[in-house]
Amino acid sequence: MGRVLDHVVYRTAVAGRENIPAHGPVIFAANHLSFLDGPVMVGAASRHMHVMVAHEMFKGFLGWVLDASGQIPVDRAGDRRALQFAKDVLERGGCVGILPEGTRGIGDAAHVNGGVAWLALNSGAAVVPVAILGTRVGREPRNTIPRPRRRLHVVFGEPLRIVRESGVSGRVSMDRATERIQHLLAGHIQSAVAATGQELPADDHLPSKHKGQQP
């Protein structure tokens, strides 16, 4: 389904596939602009992955797309079961995708949650930063589905391996790993913007008629 979205419904330019390790566990960490980021990333990657997506998105046609593309429903209030499922995938040598900003926004990765760091520290998986651009542009609201044939961009960056630091607490290791991943992803997104010419959305605020909806 992801490849249909990328190459039939939309015109997706993919760069950096050579940065994806051919074997072993990989965490794909991407920015989050739109409903379509997860499926678009799945279709662009050279390896199959399970992407972690907010459980409320699994409704109607979009829910079918998410389910068909192998994505994992996650309760954003805290979902140990989803994290454990993802860890099991990685321990089998598979791939997991995560949108660590948590909610749709301008996609600059100024803030990320600790789930990706926890998975990296507890699985030994490589973290590949992914910049997704064009799924929302300008001042389009967060619930926009882009029109067919729009040019999208998916750029895979060089992998990072996170290891536990000796002599520091688990909490400190988590905080430092989260910070490293945030810096990696934010820098990669800016490099992708410069390389593709596709800007991030200008505004992450919903129009007044959409306020009060869950982001």
| Side chain identity, residue 169 | S
Query: pLDDT grade, residue 214 (50/70/90)?
Result: very low
- Stretch 53-58: mean pLDDT: 81
Instruction: Provide the pLDDT for residue 67.
Output: 77
Q: How far apart are CA 41 and CA 133, in angstroms?
A: 11
pLDDT tens digits along 62-93 = 778 777 767 788 886 667 888 999 999 999 99
Contacts of residue 131, defined as CB under 8 A and 6 or more positions apart, other chains included, come to 30, 31, 153, 154, 155, 157, 188, 189, 191, 192, 193
Quote the pLDDT of residue 137: 95
Mind listing the pLDDT tens digit for each residue in 148-178? 999 999 999 999 999 888 888 889 999 999 9
pLDDT at 78: 63
* Banded pLDDT at 49 (limits 50, 70, 90): very high
CA distance 6 to 11: 6
What pLDDT is recorded for position 205? Answer: 56
Helix, strand, coil percentages in the chain from 3-state DSSP, rounded to 5? 40, 20, 45
Torsion of CA 165, 168, 170, 172, to 10 degrees: -100
pLDDT at 209 over 60: no
